[in-house]
Amino acid sequence: MRSAKDFFRPLAVGAPAPVREVPFRPSRMIHFFDPGNEKMAAKVPSIAPQVDVLLGNLEDAVQADRKEAARNGLVQIAKATEFGDTQLWTRINSLDSPWALDDLLTLVTEIGDKLDVIMVPKVEGAEDIHYVDRLLAQLEAKAGITRPILVHAILETATGVANVEEIAGASPRMQGISLGPADLAASRRMKTTRVGGGHPGYLVREDPNPSDSDAPRATFQQDLWHYTIARMVDACAAHGILPYYGPFGDIRDTLACEDQFRNAFLLGCVGAWSLHPVQIAIAKKVFSPAPADVAWARKVIDAMGDGTGAVMIDGKMQDDATYKQCLVVSELADTLAA
Ligand code: GLV
Ligand code: MG
């Protein structure tokens, strides 16, 4: 049987451009914690085995006078903890802040052998990634680190969105991109005051009833983030890196969080951020294909044989294209089960 990858690489004819693909490691939830907060830091050993990615956050939500404490806290935690299969990421401060250089210097020198990915906020173009890439290369060489630390960009400025293609392809270190809806809303001068999710004012209303102009008319809330997620997913897919929905700030609204995560999953994202332990289970559920979908995908794959031609299953037409979709779902399930 063929694999989904066979379809997403150029044919080996002549001298095709090499397609780079980041090795897939489960990252359904990127769980944020403040390493300078003693209560949160104490929970790291019990939270780490529950999540795919643990991220020590140094940027927004950490007060300016706590930046050094957060950075030093992360160094201590990383040195004291065995993370097993859980990845360790950090979000450094933005490149226009007074802290980013010290973040990189300290973290790569002290715990570079334990850090899998560095998340860079407010990336505006390829030049931001090139800057981090060059610094990482120097710092890794100095510290004797042989496994390259990967880079993840947050898409959270209007300029960043305009340049998302070049950001995705800026360096072989690029691991993925997350949508940052809160900063992006501010950058675009949207009139929202929340972290991700929908808005009750962003809706369409059904047409008036011609025979009863006073009849109530239903409204349907629309997805504020559809355009940006779709754009980000395309850029990531074109460059072989992974797309993520970012944060959902209304911790109590687990239903809407699940809906937002699921929209992102269906559009191609592989994970989202969890800002509170309650969001860990939501992300795990949403970003793991549902057993019924996996069973259906396998049924189609079995029925399609070599993956060409057409068959009818339960009244639905299947062909080469649905076969490829089914491989994506089935292989994701296999990878997550491994
Ligand atoms: C995340 O950093 C955001 O701004 O949404
Ligand atoms: Mg942000």
Instruction: Give the Cα-Cα-Cα angle 317, 323, 328 (nearest 5 degrees).
Output: 135
Which residues, in sequence order, are bridge partners of residue 120? 153
Pocket test for ligand 1, best of 32, 57, 58, 60 (most atoms within 8 A of CB): 60
ipTM computed for the complex: 0.99
Contacts of 23 (CB under 8 A, 6+ apart): none
How does residue 21 score in pLDDT terms, banded at 50, 70 and 90? low
> Which protein residue has the closest C-alpha to ligand 1 atom 2?
180
| pLDDT at position 222 | 95
SS3 26: coil
Q: What percent of the chain stands above pLDDT 70?
A: 93
Q: pLDDT digit string (tens) for 242-252?
A: 999 999 999 99
102 CA → ligand 1 middle, Å: 22
Pocket test for ligand 1, best of 156, 161, 225, 260 (most atoms within 8 A of CB): 156
SS3 50: helix
Q: What are phi and psi of 117, to 5 degrees?
A: -140, 140
Residue 14 CB-density burial (10 A; 0-12 exposed, 13-18 middle, 19+ buried): exposed
| pLDDT at position 230 | 98
> Which protein residue has the closest C-alpha to ligand 1 atom 1?
180
How does residue 205 score in pLDDT terms, banded at 50, 70 and 90? very high
182 CA → ligand 1 middle, Å: 5
> Which protein residue has the closest C-alpha to ligand 1 atom 3?
180
- The DSSP string of 254-296 is HHHHHHHHHHHHHHT--BEEESSTHHHHHHHHHTS--HHHHHH
Q: pLDDT digit string (tens) for 83-95?
A: 999 999 999 999 9
Total Cβ atoms within 10 A of residue 66: 15
Total Cβ atoms within 10 A of residue 204: 10
Pocket of ligand 1 (CB under 6 A): 60, 121, 154, 156, 180-183, 195, 246-247
Q: Within the chain, where are the H helices?
A: 4-7, 38-47, 67-80, 100-111, 126-143, 158-162, 164-168, 181-187, 226-239, 254-267, 278-286, 291-304, 320-337
For residue 17, pLDDT over 90 is answered with no
Ligand 1 atom closest to the Cα of residue 247 is 5
Q: pLDDT digit string (tens) for 156-181?
A: 999 999 999 999 999 999 999 999 99
Rounded distance between C-alpha atoms, residue 185 and residue 236, angstroms: 21
Tokens of 254: 């687990």
What DSSP character marks residue 209? B
Q: Find the length of the chain.
A: 338
Q: Give the HSE-up count for residue 99: Cα atoms under 13 Å, Cβ half-sphere.
A: 23
Mean pLDDT of the chain: 94
How does residue 6 score in pLDDT terms, banded at 50, 70 and 90? low
Ligand 1 atom closest to the Cα of residue 195 is 5
Contacts of 144 (CB under 8 A, 6+ apart): none
The answer for 189, left when phi > 0, alpha when psi is -120 to 50, beta otherwise, is left
144 CA → ligand 1 middle, Å: 33
Ligand 1 atom closest to the Cα of residue 181 is 5
Ligand 1 atom closest to the Cα of residue 91 is 2
72 CA → ligand 1 middle, Å: 23
What DSSP character marks residue 90? E
Total Cβ atoms within 10 A of residue 317: 9
- Please compute Rg for the chain using Cα positions: 22
Q: CA torsion angle for 4, 7, 12, 16 (degrees, to 10)?
A: -110
